[in-house]
Amino acid sequence: MAPAPRAPRNRAKTGGSVVGRILVIKLSALGDMVLATGAFQAIRAHHGGDHLVLLTTGAYAEFARAGGWFDEIWLDERPAAWRLDQWLAQTRRLRAGRFDRVYDLQHATRSHMYFRLMGRPEWSGIAPGCSHPHANPARDSMHTVTREAEQLAMAGIAETPGPDIAWLDAGIADLRPKGRFALLVPGGSAHRPEKRWPAERYGAAAVALAGQGIRPLLIGAEAERQVLDAIARACPEAVNLGGRTSFAEIAALARAAAAAIGNDTGPMHLIALAGCPSLVLFSAASKPAQTAPRGPAVEILQRPSLATLSLDDVLERLDPR
């Protein structure tokens, strides 16, 4: 059994009230950040007026700031292994934070290193020797949302709500077309091509949707420009929004879209959680039981290889609203 929560050690008084300092570590990636929003909310509620700091990477700072859970956002400088000066600077900054407790939601070699560099503070996670370990040997087989809720429960936070991005919104008048539209998310990690449905089949899906009077909107990062351009060439009716959408704009588009088709990639977590009917394509390279997007209308379609997934299989499972 994990030790009972104890009073923070380094509390400071501010205006007559006692304020603790809490650090939450969540470095990446987008899907993991979206799934962690319930954990962020639970930590904020549990620690009331304490001062909460998130350690994350630059791509997710604005997303976390908009959620309103944290008093400060710190960017992880990600010291290179051979840069002793950077590691010393990182160590000084983390120790100067004088944190009463750390919630490690990253569970990576890097965050375990920070546990040691900080002098082994009160710590919720799986770093060897930490004070509040997530002591479940089956944790790696759990869905991220369930795993984080159980980790927090073992650290004294009894209730963790599900992920929520109702607060994430933006104007989309200059992005959305007239009439019905669907979102296509054909990208993903550049070093994991096995997680992508072939671009030519996304192109065929776009043509089929356009034939039903549903205009395809192509969502992706600038780095995915090549695949987005290929789909746009196959379907002239498609609107190519590659590199033009923020996280908030993706969520807003999802709330208005008829449906979405996408690979196992970060934007699909935003789209599904925003309530869009979402068909998410998985290969054997991913484990939907642990990482599938959450939302009210999510369907998972998995094949050992996405190269074998036919257009008919996808269109049969798609259910536009």
pLDDT of res. 17 = 42
pLDDT of res. 82 = 85
Nearest in space to 43 (alpha carbons), one of 134, 88, 105: 105
Confidence of residue 19 (pLDDT cuts 50, 70, 90): low
**Amino acid (one-letter) located at 51:** H
Per-residue pLDDT tens over the stretch 139-185 = 999 999 999 999 999 999 999 999 999 999 999 999 999 999 999 99
Indicate the domain borders of the chain.
12-154, 181-317
Mark 250-260 as b/e (b = at least 16 C-beta within 10 Å): bbbbbeebbbb
**pTM to 2 decimals?**
0.92
Same fold for the pair 12-154 and 181-317: yes
- Average pLDDT of the residues of the chain: 93
CATH class of 181-317: alpha beta
Mean pLDDT, range 4-33, rounded to an integer: 67
**CA pair distance 302, 284, nearest whole angstrom:** 7
Q: Is the pLDDT of residue 217 over 50?
A: yes
CATH hierarchy code of domain 12-154: 3.40.50.2000
Percent of the chain scoring above 90 in pLDDT: 88
pLDDT of res. 229 = 97
